[in-house]
Structure 1
């Protein structure tokens, strides 16, 4: 009983700062609220020591020669980007109506439409880069709908808000794990589309280079694409300009070969985008945990 009460108190305490920030800004225009939460998380990344240290550990791995001042600025800019992204996900139903914000390009969208016209499913691969929900917004704009695979949050308040936002972007929403995997297979076999963020650590995965260092990576998306003959389409929603607009690019499907080669290809694609625009990637994923670094 005491343990459950303590857990509930901790969940409330950890959610309170975000709830407060969202409440204070609730009467402002959408883009002003987005910028406001971005500014707040940027300040957290600059002045909250645990967050700054966690970011520095990951950034130093990839940019060992980056000066401290530049690294601190990168962390703060990342915080601004992710604050805006979090706000837009929390308010995904409204975000998806802002069609004027999306600049769409790339051959992958035509490949997606072709697969749907043939009654086939498709797998969209992305990462915690820019605004990944912009991808599903564009899919909806084109008369289709993409489900999503997500990792449930342990904090029940964050989980409630995040899940509601993700569901507004398209269904079904499938949690990681055995039950979610079964639902994913049914959805794909039935001709559905699913979007997967493939840049989280997967403990049962294989070591594949990511940003120059081995990272535990799941092969399941490529395995499903091969098993059911589905296109595996990398897509990215990059925040551009003043941060209110997005360049949504659907790259050509990754050629079918074997699951390791295909997954490595995606890791290389995402790594290149991060190196070109590092503040748009969420560096707090502990991406290389569980792998001995040489």
Structure 2
């Protein structure tokens, strides 16, 4: 009982900074609240020693010659993007009303429209880059509501807010694991769309190059696309300008070959986006640990 009490108290303590930041800015406009949280998180990521060292370690794996000042700026900008992304997910219903700030392009959107017209499902693959919820907002506005796969949070306060936010972006929201996988298959077979962030380390996966280095990667999205003859479309919501506008790009569906080749094609796609704008990617994923 004591252990549970201590754990619960620790959940409260860890949630207080975010709760305070959200509460203190609640009377401001959506953009000002988003920018305020972004600025706060950007400062933490740039200067807080533990976070600073962790980001630098990952960045130097990919960019070993990057100067200290350049890394500091990358941390700040990455943190700012993280803060804004978190705010927008927590307020996803309001975020989806701001479609005038989204510029949409890419042949993948036609592939999704054709799949819907044929009564077939589809798989969107993306990563922790820019604002990935912008992708589902665009789809929902076009009558193509997309579910999503997510990893439950250990902190119950974060979990409650996160789940409520992403549910506002589209359903079903499926937790990783056996039960979630079964529900995902049913959803796809019934003609549904699912969005998967494919850039997290997957211990049971295979080593596939990602941003130039081997990384343990799941083949599940490509395997499902092949098994059920579904389009697998890479899509990205890139922040532009002051971070409150987005370029939502639906790339061409990845040709059906084999799961390894298709997953490598996605890794190459996301890698190119990261190289073009490193601060848009979430460098805290520990993507290459143990790979």
Q: TM-score, normalised on structure 1? A: 0.98
Q: CA RMSD in A?
A: 0.6
User: What whole-Å deviation, never above 9, does each CA across 1:34-62 have from its counterpart, x for those lacking one?
Assistant: 00000000010122111111111100101
- Say if 2:272 is the partner of 1:272: yes
Q: Give the corresponding residue for 1:115.
A: 115
- Residue-pair matches, total: 291
- In the other structure, the counterpart of 1:284 is 284
Specify the SS of the correspondent of 1:73.
Answer: helix
CA distance in 2, matches of 1:98, 1:213: 37
- Cα-to-partner distance string for 1:121-164 (whole Å, 9 max, x where unaligned): 00000000000000000001111100000011111110000010
SS in 2 for 1:224: helix
For normalisation by structure 2, the TM-score amounts to 0.99
Partner of 2:23: 23
Task: List structure 1 runs of 4+ shifted beyond 6 angstroms.
Answer: none
Cα distance in 2, alignment partners of residues 76 and 15 from structure 1: 22
Structure 1 unpaired stretches of 5+: none
1:149 is paired with a residue of what secondary structure?
strand
Q: CA deviation at 1:290?
A: 2.1
Aligned to 2:243, what secondary structure does the other structure show? Answer: coil
Deviation at 1:82, TM superposition (A): 0.9
- The Cα offsets for residues 219-250 of structure 1, whole Å up to 9 and x where unpaired, read as 00000000000000000000011211100000
Q: 1:50 matched to which residue of 2?
A: 50
Deviations 1:147-201 (A, max 9, x none): 0000111111100000100000000000000000000000000000000000001
Q: Distance in 1 between matches of 2:23 and 2:58?
A: 32
Is residue 103 from structure 1 mapped to residue 70 from structure 2 by the alignment?
A: no
- Unaligned runs of 5+ residues in structure 2 are none
Give 1:160-179 correspondences, 5 Å limit: 160-179=160-179
Deviation at residue 6 of structure 1 after TM alignment: 1.0
In structure 2, C-alpha distance between the alignment counterparts of 1:102 and 1:287, rounded to whole Å? 29
Alignment partner of 2:235: what SS?
strand
Structure 1 match to 2:236: 236
How many Å separate the matches in 2 of 1:149 and 1:215?
A: 20
Alignment of 1:191-202 (within 5 A): 191-202=191-202
